[in-house]
Structure 1
Amino acid sequence: TSFSHVWLEVGRKGGERHHTSPAKSKRSKKRRAEQKREVVVNMAARSLSAARILKSVRDLMKNYQTGAPLACIIVPTDDPHLSEYVSERYKRRHFVSRFTGSQGTAVITHDQACLWADGRYFLQAEQQLDPSMWTLMKQHTDGCPTVEEWVRNTLSEGDAVGVDASTFSYSTYESMQKKLDKKGIKLVPTSFNLIDVVRAQLEGEGEEGGSGGKVGGGE
């Protein structure tokens, strides 16, 4: 006896069954294959975008007019108003890292990029960060340094760290400055937000497909 369909068991309750024709099964396999290819393409596009963003940021760091290039920049989640909810215009850490969590700090040097996040966001960060370019720093876990400790251990005396001072509270800025001063590392309040410049440039070229919203500098 020949069968024109294949029986597939989908549940045990009451012997519930449904059948799928060979043609439908073939179409389903084709769709799954197409979805896998789409995932690969999207990952490649994301990597390209992440690479372009970091290269543009680092180029700007090298050419920043301070008398010396910036060895590092720190990009917090906060906006100039230290708002609880950050508007699209100020989602700079999200733009540069692609991590969408509501808490986190990005630190970028000329050869490293790290994101600090707490336990609420470990899984999300692992899924959203490009591991070939970003290192997830798991806050409050054994062996994880603070941002200031990492910067002190990574940079050299005389290096400059760029920050948009408007995105830090006075006490946070002062505390960071004192900790970095211990190794002779300079905390430099930049005259413009580097991420805003890169974002405007790349979105103007269509890098982000026009999805980033209005771009503006610090206030």
Structure 2
Amino acid sequence: ASLFRGVSPEDFETHIRRLFFTLKERWGNIPFEVVNDGEVTALAGSMGLEANRVLGVAMGTSQAAGYVNGSGHILPWLNELAFAPVDFRDDAPSDEWSGDIGCGAQYFSQQAVARLAPAAGFDFGKMPFPEQLVKVQEAMKEGDRRAEQIYETIGTCFGYSIAHYADFYDIENLLILGRVTSGEGGQVIIDEAETVLANEFPDLRIKLVVPDEKTKRHGQAVAAASLPALVPVLA
């Protein structure tokens, strides 16, 4: 996994491979379940919306995703849409880790904002991506048309990508969150995506939803706590 790419093979085998088993043992063998954060986000959204067929997409450092099916269950596969292609041009931008081109992380994350900023007219030099995002958000708040164009581009790409995701997922609700969607720019992304869906894919009935503050703050914790199977303790 990319998270451990700086760990030597020897240390990985010794300390990482059974990491979660070690944690469970050290925590007194409490009920323990390991689930991708995207799945927990989607489950929290499903619980908050009281609805199923939810695809959750978080636009943050990268693109995270999770899915709850029509029965209200998360599934055993990985929904790593950050590495799923959404741009099939031969000259699409490449992912620095996998080397794949046109992946979602380049379009729906702070990487996307940094990649689009020069085209919009910003010159941030070698400023770290999180700081570039803050600058663009500040510019958006001040009514800078350049910032708005960045969000419009992300939203347009997202609309077409949602339709592409619908080829593989049965989606009724799409939960959208993450730091890229914070502030006025987030609504621009949603508006542009909805316009694409309405004009280009009118047969799709997918509702774009932003989680409420309760779900943002506590939803993941509540959903995660519901996952482990609890064994009754006999007195």
- TM bucket (normalised to shorter chain) is 0.3 to 0.5
Output the TM-score relative to the length of structure 1: 0.42
Output the TM-score relative to the length of structure 2: 0.40
Higher relative contact order (CA 8 A, sep 6+): 2
> Between Structure 1 and Structure 2, whose CA radius of gyration is higher?
1
**Greater fraction of residues in helix:** 2
**Greater fraction of residues in strand:** 1
